[in-house]
Structures are given as C-alpha cells and as structure tokens.
C-alpha cells in the first residue's frame, strides 16, 4: 500500500479514536445521506518542498476534516476537540499488516501537524433537504518516519 494511503487511513482511524462513539466517521467527503453527527477526512493537496540539498523533497500535505452536526453546540464541540487534538500530531501505522480492530498494526512514524485552522461553514436552509450545522478543520502536515 502506498504511504500516502497509509497517511489517509491513519487520520481516519485517529478520528475514530478521538470522537465520541455516536459520531460517524467517513473516509472522504460523504456522498450519501448524512447521519448526524458525522466527520469526514479529505486529503486536499500535496506539495513537494525541498528538504535538503539534492533530490529529496519533504511532502507537505493539506487536509480538511468536515464536521456535520445537529446543532451549533455539537458542531463547535467537535471542531474544538479535533482542533485541540491535532496539536499532538497523528501516529502513522502500517496497514499492510491489517486493520483495526482485528489487527494492531506497527507504527511507522508520525504526521507532524502545523497551521491548524477551524471555521464554521454556513449551510443555507433553502439549498439543502435536511438542515445541519457544519464546520471545517484544516491543517498541514508532513510525514516523519520513526
């Protein structure tokens, strides 16, 4: 499995561990009917940044976690929780060994998080069938192997 997919899955399983059990976690932007509350993770951009002399690049990833909630309080609570937890960075695991909960894969390294941001996204009642409260948590990261 490609390391970029392992990064994506590591954030997905990190989210599963961090949010309360009543919250649905989705890998990618939800394209079905939303069961609230839901959080999703999307890898937006990857930029190669020169790291040292030679041909070595450090990949800088840009991520977005979308929060879909039943009310303002729930939205704000989930967004604040995730924003705070991102300060501790995200462990990266080797999912070639298997997936939780049946397997506890080996840790390969961490995603070092920077430039965290959270903001509410206004949803217009006239444009959606089911009204919900939404927020976006964005951040940059780079992978640091163990």
What are the structural domains, with CATH classification, of the chain? 3-145 (3.30.2000.30)
Q: Is the pLDDT of residue 146 over 60?
A: yes
pLDDT the model gives residue 124: 80
DSSP string, the chain: --HHHHHHHHHHHHHHHHS-TTSEEEESS--S---SSEEEEEEEEEEEEE-SSSS-EEEEEEEEEEEEESSHHHHHHHHHHHHHHGGG-EEEE-GGG--TTT--PPEEEEEEEEEEEEEEE---TTT-SS--EEEEEEEEEEEEE-
pLDDT the model gives residue 24: 96
pLDDT the model gives residue 121: 92
pLDDT the model gives residue 49: 62
| pTM, 2 dp | 0.87
The burial of 86, by beta-carbon neighbours within 10 Å (0-12 exposed, 13-18 middle, 19 or more buried), is given as: buried
Cβ contact 117:138 at 8 Å: yes
Cβ contact 69:75 at 8 Å: yes
């Amino acid at each position: 499995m490609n390391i970029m997919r392992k990064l994506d899955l590591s954030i997905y399983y990190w989210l599963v561990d961090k949010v309360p059990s009543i919250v649905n976690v989705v890998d990618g932007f939800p394209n079905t009917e939303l069961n609230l509350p839901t959080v999703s993770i999307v890898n937006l951009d990857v930029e190669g940044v020169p790291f040292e002399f030679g041909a070595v690049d450090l990949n800088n990833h840009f991520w977005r976690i979308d929060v879909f909630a039943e009310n303002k309080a729930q939205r704000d609570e989930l967004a604040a929780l995730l924003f705070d937890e991102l300060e501790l960075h995200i462990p990266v695991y080797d999912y070639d060994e298997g997936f939780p909960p049946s397997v506890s894969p080996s840790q390969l390294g961490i995603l070092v998080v920077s430039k965290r941001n959270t903001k509410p996204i206004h949803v217009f009642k006239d444009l959606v069938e089911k009204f919900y409260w939404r927020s976006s948590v964005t951040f940059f990261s780079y992978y640091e192997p163990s």
